[in-house]
Amino acid sequence: MAELLLKERTAKPREKARTAGKGAREVRELLPLGQIIPGDCIEAMRSLPTASVDLVFADPPYNLQLGGDLARPDGSHVDAVTDAWDKFDSFAAYDAFTRAWLAEARRVLKPTGSLWVIGSYHNIFRVGAILQDMGFWVLNDIVWRKANPMPNFKGTRFTNAHETLIWASTGEKAKYTFNYRAMKTLNDELQMRSDWVLPICSGQERLKKGGAKVHPTQKPEALLYRVMLATSNKGDVILDPFFGTGTTGAVAKRLGRQWIGCEREAAYREAALERIELALPLDESAITTMQSPRSAPKVAFGTLVETGWIAPGAQLSDRKRRFAATVRADGSLACGAESGSIHGLGAKLQGAPSCNGWSFWHVEHEGAFKPLDDLRQLYLLATEP
């Protein structure tokens, strides 16, 4: 921990590296990998070499424009976003800020890199228009449907049950990473859709200090897990200009990616470093994902992996313990030289035309040997609105 804190405290925005004529390895050596650059994110990004980053994930201020304190019907206070970093004098000021950080994000991205931005109705449409004006090419807008959203306490509007993510390449003709096969495996052999149902950050994952949230808008690791697994590869450099409490860094460490953060708030930086130090990276076999060569359940097996109900590297076996398989990061299973989804591998091992992996595969959970479907039902109960 002391070494990480030393890195954070001594990391200073460096002069913009001159990358002309330098090879990819030389440029990478200039990067502050595994460090949080303190201070304003725009100045921090200016310290990074041009075309040096594979993926940018940005969770910028939403500019919520809250008119006052929020209260529940029982009169208790709602812990909403009231911090100075989310306040702007006008839409024009917010737009100028957005253009400035997007310009730096575009500069540091490799031509084959891509950008993710998450927001709410308060800001995402403004951000989307600006990034299009700047030459980014929108590949998808993803709707994160919150399995357990906060209700609308005033009863004057619909409950805000989703946030929007924009995924964009550096240009219309630009190449980019998309691990289609891994996403299909994660989703029980169905194409991954653009509406993702994941719970908000809660329970042990939510960082707290003195009983209060460390950060009001901490994102769930499952969300970043899917983003990184879909659009980056092992060893890629992930930049988060609004690092907060380090969700991006923790997930990058687990998945074998490199990370760089920018964060001006010292309390967030300290919490992030402590969190990332505790994150356990997956071993090589678990990081490996399916490569390119029906009725969907309510929960895909990959969702249990993303949300930590089943850890990559966990061992599964059939009820009679004839076959053993290892869970990999994208929800695929490996058994010797064979691999596949919970359904496909089960069928292959039995020489059968099909297999219901939910009932075929079992796992040790809380001292009992249970079918995967039992964990799926527990997950559903835990994430009920």
Give the three-state DSSP class for 141: strand
**In 10 A of CB 280, how many CB atoms?**
10
Q: Are 158 and 152 in contact (CB under 8 A)?
A: yes
Q: Are 142 and 119 in contact (CB under 8 A)?
A: no
* 254 CB burial (10 A radius; 0-12, 13-18, 19+): buried
Give the distance, in angstroms, between the CA of residue 67 and the centroid of all CA atoms in the same chain: 30
Q: Are 130 and 103 in contact (CB under 8 A)?
A: no
Express as a percent the part of the chain with pLDDT over 70.
85
Q: What is the pTM of this model?
A: 0.77
The Cα diameter of the chain in Å comes to 66
Residue in the block written with tokens 């009001």:
216
**pLDDT digits (tens), the chain, 385 positions:** 434 443 443 344 444 445 555 677 777 888 999 999 999 999 999 999 999 999 999 999 988 765 555 444 555 444 544 556 457 788 999 999 999 999 999 999 999 999 999 999 999 999 999 999 999 999 999 999 998 887 877 778 898 899 999 999 999 999 999 999 999 999 998 999 999 999 887 777 777 777 777 777 789 999 999 999 999 999 999 999 999 999 999 999 999 999 999 999 999 999 999 999 988 898 877 888 876 654 334 689 999 999 999 999 999 999 999 999 999 999 999 999 999 999 999 999 999 999 999 999 999 988 999 999 999 988 888 876 6
- Report, in this order, helix, strand and coil percent for the chain, each rounded to 5: 35, 20, 45
**pLDDT at residue 88 in the model:** 79
CA gap 341, 302 in Å, rounded: 9
249-288 confidence digits (pLDDT tens):
999 999 999 999 999 999 999 999 999 998 889 887 788 8
Q: Which two tokens stand for residue 261?
A: 């953060």
What's at 53, amino acid-wise?
A: V
Short-list 207, 270, 321, 343, CA closest to 4: 270
**Residue 150 vs residues 72, 90, 254: alpha-carbon distances, Å:** 11, 27, 29
Short-list 348, 354, 343, 225, CA closest to 289: 225
Short-list 147, 259, 271, CA closest to 215: 271
Give, to the nearest 10 degrees, the angle between helix 247-254 and helix 221-231: 50
Instruction: Reduce the secondary structure of 304-331 to three states and give it as a string.
Output: HHHCCCCCCCCEEEECCCCCEEEECCCC
Q: What is the DSSP letter of 187?
A: T
Residue in the block written with tokens 């957005």:
98
Any residues with CB less than 8 A from the CB of 69 and at least 6 apart, and which? 77, 78, 80, 82
**In 10 A of CB 312, how many CB atoms?**
23
Q: Which two tokens stand for residue 38?
A: 């303190």
